[in-house]
Amino acid sequence: MEKKQHVYIIGSKGIPAKYGGFETFVEKLTEHQVDKNIQYHVACMTENSAKSGITDKHFEHNGANCFNIDVPNVGPAKAIYYDIAALKYAIKLAEKNKDKHPIFYVLACRIGPFIGSLKNKIKELDGKLYVNPDGHEWMRSKWSYPVRRYWKYSEQLMVKHADLLICDSKNIEKYIREDYVKYNPKTAYIAYGTDLEKSKLTTFSQEVIQWFQAKKVQPNNYYLVVGRFVPENNFETMIREFMKSNSKKDLVLITNVENNKFYDKLKDETNFEQDSRIKFVGTVYDQELLKYIREKSFAYIHGHEVGGTNPSLLEALASTKLSLLLGVGFNREVAGNGAIYWQKNTLKNVINNVEKISLKEKENYYNLSLNRMKGQYSWNKICTDYEIIFVQSHQR
């Protein structure tokens, strides 16, 4: 008799994960699996798998059955094409394998206009459609107005057809329940996770020495910003306010600014290049090095105000001595009392004040933040919470 609960995960680029929020989530979900009555199936982009030297259509990773989907380069619609093709293929696999009550877990709300007919096929299999609504994608400034309208409409239809929406932020869950009350959406809250281990690197590691020398940065003498270089992450506010502060430390920004009009606009409007403290240092893909850079910063500054639980925020709260966060609901929900909060016109004062706080106060913030990450945001906890939901579905 078939006892396994089959869960098909659609919407990440795939595993093994190199980078990315959803990719890391799927990697950790499969890596930390405890309940062997769950069988994960993961959709992967062929081009992503090729980066790990995987060319087979079907392969196994972390005990998950993975399948590659070829995606033509159709420009901005590429992600939509991929999700549809992956979900169709997953439905065929479940049908072929005669899976009992399969779950199809779709990450993000990209395919709303196409979900109705696919949901009917899932129903025919006696399956369930679960959706992770992610953050407020339709609010991101990088999208043109028509694209934003598409995102909002797509989100509406995904909410309408989902059997369950799993939100990684209580604020997102509240928004889904209130904005789409007419659909009476069924929701659950499971946070995103973070790695709690310290960096394996030391002061004497070659990559550490090279990076700090090349970037002309002194350990424990810089504020750190890590995140996508987009306006809604408030880079302009952070830079302007820092320039107005009295700090003698550097502001180190780890982000990708290549071929970026926003960077040129920021340069023209703030003249940050004339302030030697402002240092754009590019990206850091080596996760151990990035963790070490976080650990050796004086404080972390976080300006994200769109989206759910942000992975870079969790990583900072688990490893940085002090976190200065924009005081929006998402950030307060995650950090609680383990951070200092700022508004867009107060960051300068916050920076001036934190340089005066005692080592004991700083340690207190760090302990509060680390304990919060251990209690609420460890990958073990997150993966167990998911397993409970998946198994409960099987027992209904």
Per-residue pLDDT for 395 more than 90? no
Running DSSP on this structure, what letter comes out for residue 76? G
Pair 47, 18: CB distance under 8 Å: no
Instruction: Assign 1 a pLDDT band (cuts: 50, 70, 90).
Output: very low
Per-residue pLDDT for 376 more than 90? yes
Give the residue-averaged pLDDT of 114-128. 96
List the one residue out of 115, 110, 91, 118 whose CA is nearest residue 6. 91
* Domain that includes residue 32, residue range: 5-193+378-395
In a shared domain, residues 165 and 248: no
Bridge-based pairing state of the strands 250-254 and 222-226: parallel
Pair 7, 102: CB distance under 8 Å: yes
Q: For 258-311, how does the pLDDT look when each residue is reduced to its tens digit (9 = 90+)?
A: 778 889 999 999 999 999 999 999 999 898 999 999 999 999 999 998 766 788
List the one residue out of 291, 318, 313 whose CA is nearest residue 302. 313
Residue with tokens 């030297």: 53
Domain CATH number, residue 165: 3.40.50.2000
Q: For 30-65, how does the pLDDT look when each residue is reduced to its tens digit (9 = 90+)?
A: 999 999 999 999 999 999 999 899 999 999 999 999
Flag whether 243 is in a domain.
yes
Flag whether 199 is in a domain.
no
Pair 105, 26: CB distance under 8 Å: no
Structurally, the chain folds into a number of domains equal to 2
In a shared domain, residues 17 and 103: yes
In a shared domain, residues 104 and 244: no
Residue 18 CA to residue 102 CA, distance in Å, equals: 28
